[in-house]
Structure 1
Amino acid sequence: MDIIYLHGVKAKTLIGVYDWERVAPQVVEVDLEIGIPSPRACHSDQLVDTIDYAKVVDRLRAELAEQHFLLLEALAEHLAQDIMGAFGAPWIKVSVTKLGILHEVGRVGVTVERGHRGG
């Protein structure tokens, strides 16, 4: 399976279980690995034969601006299902990270993997 990846995508969203986390949007960092439905782009060299990662980023940021979650797990699951459905990806790995949210902890996050990662 061919995979595209986007690492370190930053976006603002309301996320958290504590009241103080839900007052203003926080910046989260998202890493994506997305299975490409077909290897056609390797031979055609055409954008229409792959997943346009600029469109993925635009969609991700729009979703995070509109959707609000208590847990990173729910946010990651939502992104995984949304991106797989929108782009026809057979497999996805989504990592969502909160930056500097805990005292003396640089990053906390969660990773979900969905779909079938074929060979």
Structure 2
Amino acid sequence: MDIIYLHGVKARTLIGVYDWERVAPQVVEVDLELGIPSARACQTDDLADTINYADVVDRLRAVLAEQHFLLLERLAEYIAQDLMGAFSTPWIRVSVTKLGILHEVGRVGVTVERGHRGG
């Protein structure tokens, strides 16, 4: 399976269980790996035969701006399900990171993997 990856994508969303976290959107960092439904683009060199990563980023930022989450786990699951449906990817890995949220901890996050990776 061919995979497109996008690492370090910044997006804003309301996330957190504490009242102070839900006052304003926070920046989260998202790493994505998406299985490409077909290897056709390797032969055709045509963007129509693959997943346009600019479209993935645009969609990610738009849907997160409209949603509110308590847990990173739910946020990661939401991203996985939304992008799998929107881009017909058979497999996805989503990592979501909150930066500097705990004292003396640089990053906290969660990773979910959904679908079938195949060969």
Fold-level match, TM-score > 0.5? yes
Task: Report percent identity of matched pairs.
Answer: 86
Aligned-partner Cα distance in 2 for 1:41–1:117:
18
Aligned-partner Cα distance in 1 for 2:12–2:104:
22
Partner of 1:32: 32
Q: Which runs of 5+ in 1 are unaligned?
A: none
Aligned-partner Cα distance in 2 for 1:65–1:82:
14
Q: Which runs of 5+ in 2 are unaligned?
A: none
Partner of 2:12: 12
Deviations along 1:79-107, one digit per CA (max 9) or x if unpaired, are 00000000000000000000000000000
Aligned-partner Cα distance in 1 for 2:63–2:103:
28
Aligned-partner Cα distance in 2 for 1:31–1:3:
13
Partner of 2:63: 63
Aligned-partner Cα distance in 2 for 1:46–1:68:
36
Aligned-partner Cα distance in 1 for 2:21–2:67:
15
Aligned-partner Cα distance in 1 for 2:18–2:73:
16
Question: So what's the TM-score if we normalise by structure 2?
Answer: 0.99
Aligned-partner Cα distance in 1 for 2:62–2:68:
12
Deviations along 1:27-86, one digit per CA (max 9) or x if unpaired, are 000000000000000000000000000000000000110011000000000000000000
Partner of 2:107: 107
Aligned-partner Cα distance in 1 for 2:82–2:13:
16
Aligned-partner Cα distance in 1 for 2:65–2:90:
25
Partner of 1:82: 82
Question: So what's the TM-score if we normalise by structure 1?
Answer: 0.99
Q: What is the count of residue pairs matched by the alignment?
A: 119
Letter in 1 for 2:106: G
